[in-house]
Amino acid sequence: MKLELNQLTKKYKNNVAIEQVSFTFFAGIYGILGANGAGKSTLMKMMSTILAPTEGKILWEDKDIFDDTTDYRGVLGVLPQNFGYYDDFTVKAFLEFMAVVKGVKKTDIKESIQYVLKATNLQKKAKEKMKSLSGGMKQRVGIAQALINDPKILILDEPTVGLDPEERGRFRQILASIGRDRIVILSTHIVQDVEYVADKLLILKEGKILHEGKLEEILSAIDGKVWECETITIDKNKVILCNTRFDNGHYLNRVISDTSPSREAKIVKPTLDDLYLYYFNDETKAEEDN
C-alpha cells in the first residue's frame, strides 16, 4: 500500500499553496498539522482528485491517480471540510445513498452499512433523521460514508472542527479502531486531534513540509529549548511564551527559547503544543490580533 506525492505543487494564479512537496504514505494514520492557510485543504483536495496539481504527481501503487480517476476513487474515502448532508434522510438512507453513489455492489450494501454503523458507533441512530443529530454525530456519519466502500485510503479534512472536547475524544477512538489496515490522512490545526493517535505527523507551513516523523522524532526539534521559569530576564521578543500557570503560590511561565530565559529556568520535556507554537506562533498571534 503506497501513496506517493512527487514534487507536488499547486498554484492559484500567483499564490503558491503547495510547493514541491514529496512524501510517501504507507498503511497507518498520518496527521497533517498546520495553521489556517498552510495548504492542508489544497493538499487533501489534490489527493482526492478534486484539484489537479500545477506540477508534480500523485502516485497510487506507482500509477498517476489522474490517469484513471475512476479506478483510484474506488479505493478512496473522503470526508471534505464542508460536507453537505441531506437533512430529511435518515442516517441509514443517507448511507444507502452514498453506497450507491460510490458504486458499492447492491448485494454488499446491507453488510457495508452494518459495518460502518458499528465502526462509528451509530447503530442506535440508524433510523434518526440527519437534521436531528448533533454536530459530533453528523461528523460520525461523515466518517461512516467515507468508509462505506471499505477504502484503502481515507482522507479526513479538519474532521473535528466544531466538535466539543468529548466528541473529539470519541472521534479519536473511532479513528484508532479503523485506521490499521489502510492509509488514513487527517488534517487539523488542533494538536490534540493527532498527538497520540497518529503514527506519523507532518508539519505543513506555507505549502511545505517543515518536519515529518513520529511524535518523539519531531519533538526533538525543540529538545532543550522549552523552559519553565518564574521570571524572564532576557529580551521577551526572543522567547515564545506558551502559557503561564499558578503553581505552589507562584506564577510559572512555560517558554520556548534558544537560550536560558533566566537563572532559575529549568529545561522541561517538549510537547506537541510547544512545537506547534514554535512553528506557528506568528499565525496564532495574527489570529488573536484580528
Binding site for ligand ATP (CB under 6 A): 12, 15, 17, 34, 36-42
Name residue, grid cell 448511507: 95
Residue placing its CB nearer to ligand ATP in the complex, 41 or 112? 41
C-beta separation of 225 from 256 below 8 A: yes
Nearest approach in angstroms of CB 36 to ligand ATP is 3
Residue placing its CB nearer to ligand ATP in the complex, 54 or 220? 54
Nearest approach in angstroms of CB 86 to ligand ATP is 24
Residue placing its CB nearer to ligand ATP in the complex, 41 or 139? 41
Residue placing its CB nearer to ligand ATP in the complex, 16 or 93? 16
Q: Which three cell numbers stand for residue 158?
A: 479538519
Nearest approach in angstroms of CB 33 to ligand ATP is 10
Please state the three-class secondary structure of 131-158 as a single string. HHCCHHHHHHHHHHHHHCCCCCEEEEEC
Nearest approach in angstroms of CB 16 to ligand ATP is 8
| Distance of alpha carbon 24 from alpha carbon 8, whole angstroms | 12
Q: Which three cell numbers stand for residue 154?
A: 481515507
| Distance of alpha carbon 27 from alpha carbon 132, whole angstroms | 35
Nearest approach in angstroms of CB 255 to ligand ATP is 27
Helical spans, DSSP H, in the chain: 40-47, 69-73, 91-101, 109-119, 135-147, 165-178, 191-194, 215-219, 272-289
| Distance of alpha carbon 16 from alpha carbon 13, whole angstroms | 8
Beta-ladder partners of 183? 28, 153
C-beta separation of 256 from 277 below 8 A: yes
C-beta separation of 226 from 35 below 8 A: no
Residue placing its CB nearer to ligand ATP in the complex, 82 or 248? 82
C-beta separation of 113 from 92 below 8 A: yes
Nearest approach in angstroms of CB 17 to ligand ATP is 3
What's the one-letter identity of residue 86? Answer: Y
Nearest approach in angstroms of CB 275 to ligand ATP is 17
Nearest approach in angstroms of CB 142 to ligand ATP is 17
Residue placing its CB nearer to ligand ATP in the complex, 65 or 204? 204
Residues in the chain: 290
Secondary structure of residue 173 in the 3-state scheme: helix
The C-alpha angle with vertex 91 and arms to 70 and 125, in degrees rounded to 5, equals 140
Residue placing its CB nearer to ligand ATP in the complex, 34 or 261? 34
Residue placing its CB nearer to ligand ATP in the complex, 42 or 48? 42
